[in-house]
Amino acid sequence: MGSSAVSAADQEKVKLLRRLGRIRGQIEAIQRALEEDASCASLLQQATACRGALDGFIAEVIEDHIRAHIVQEKDRGRASKAAEELIGVVHSYLT
């Protein structure tokens, strides 16, 4: 008997891919606006919206990493390694 249920990881992947598709659309809109000589204010507004969307994507991936590789990880050594990896990535993102 096969299961038609989609795993939580697969659902999360689909959600992230959709989010990236929307971000791609925002980037393309910024490019079109620039090509059409949009105002600086308009370009900045679109760019900040895109940055917010990308920040949301990053936050979602961080949350997924914490849940999957730290909180739910049974092997404390692997959890510690995953935490250190995340600390390094977050540090490089913020500095």
How confident is the chain (95 residues) per 10-residue block, as mean pLDDT? Answer: 69 95 97 97 97 95 94 95 95 91
Question: What span, in angstroms and rounded, lies between the C-alpha atoms of 11 and 42?
Answer: 34
**pLDDT value at position 7?**
85
**Taking the CB of residue 62, how many other CB atoms lie within 10 A of it?**
14
User: Tokens 């935490």, residue?
Assistant: 83
CATH number assigned to the domain covering 12-94: 1.20.58.1000
Show me where the domains of the chain are located.
12-94
